[in-house]
Amino acid sequence: MQTGVLALLGLASLFVGWILMLVLPGIRYISWGMLLLGAILVLVAFIIDYRRVRGALASRRGRFSTGTTLMAAIFIGIILLVNAISYANFHRFDVTGLSQYTLTSQTKSALEGMETPVEALLFTIPGDITGDFLNNLLTEYRNFSDQLGIELIDPEQQPDLARQYGVTQYPAVVFQGKAGRRPVLPQDIISFTEQGDMKIEAEYAFTSAILEVTGSVQKKVYFLTGHGENSIFSTSADGYSTVREGLLDNLYQVESLDIRVTGDIPEDCTILVIPGPEIPLTSREVDVISQYLTDEGWAMILMNPNPPDEIRQLVSEWGLDIHDGIIIDERSYAEPNMDSPLVPPTRSYFAQFGMFRDTYFPGATALVPQEDTPESIITVPLIWTSPNSWLEEDSGGEYQFDEGVDLQGPLAIGVLVIGLSPEITEAGEEDITGTRLIVYGDSDFASNRRFQDGDNGNLFLNSVNILTVGKELITMDRKYIQTRRLIIGPEAESFITISSIGLLPLLVLVAGAYIWWRRR
Q: Identity (one letter) of the amino acid at 263?
A: G
Distance CA(20)–CA(24), nearest Å, equals: 5
As a whole number of angstroms, the distance between CA 199 and CA 482 comes to 4
Q: What's the length of the chain?
A: 520
Q: List residues bridging with 360 in a β-sheet.
A: 342
**pLDDT the model gives residue 504:** 73
3-state secondary structure of 108: helix
Domain-by-domain residue ranges, the chain? 2-88, 105-213, 220-468
What integer pLDDT is reported at residue 491 of this predicted model? Answer: 75
pLDDT of residue 17: 76
**In three state form, how does the secondary structure of 370-434 look?**
CCCCCCCEEEEEEEECCCCEEEECCCCCCCCCCCCCCEECCCEEEEEEEEECCCCCCCCCCCCCE
- Assign domain 105-213 one CATH number from 3.40.50.10680, 3.40.50.2000, 3.30.70.100, 3.40.30.10: 3.40.30.10
- Taking the chain (520 residues) in consecutive chunks of 10 residues, what is each chunk's mean pLDDT? 68 74 66 79 72 57 47 64 61 54 76 87 89 87 87 90 87 89 83 66 83 82 92 90 86 90 91 92 93 92 91 90 87 79 88 80 89 84 90 72 80 90 48 78 91 88 82 49 62 74 75 77
Which pLDDT score is estimated for 67?
43
Which backbone phi and psi does 123 adopt, to 5 degrees? -95, 110
- Write down the H helix ranges in 49-122: 50-58, 60-64, 69-88, 105-112
Q: What is the pLDDT of residue 430?
A: 43
What is the phi/psi pair of residue 509, to 5°?
A: -65, -45
Hey, CA dihedral for 434, 440, 443, 447, is it positive or negative? negative
Short-list 185, 181, 156, 180, CA closest to 169: 185
Q: Assess contact for 266 and 222: CB atoms under 8 A.
A: yes
What pLDDT does residue 422 have?
Answer: 57
Taking each helix axis as running N to C, give the angle between helix 203-213 and helix 129-142, from 0 to 180 degrees, rounded to the nearest 10: 50
Q: What is the pLDDT of residue 393?
A: 77
pLDDT at 212: 82
User: Is 220-468 CATH 2.60.40?
Assistant: no
Whether the domain at 105-213 and the domain at 220-468 fall into the same CATH topology:
no
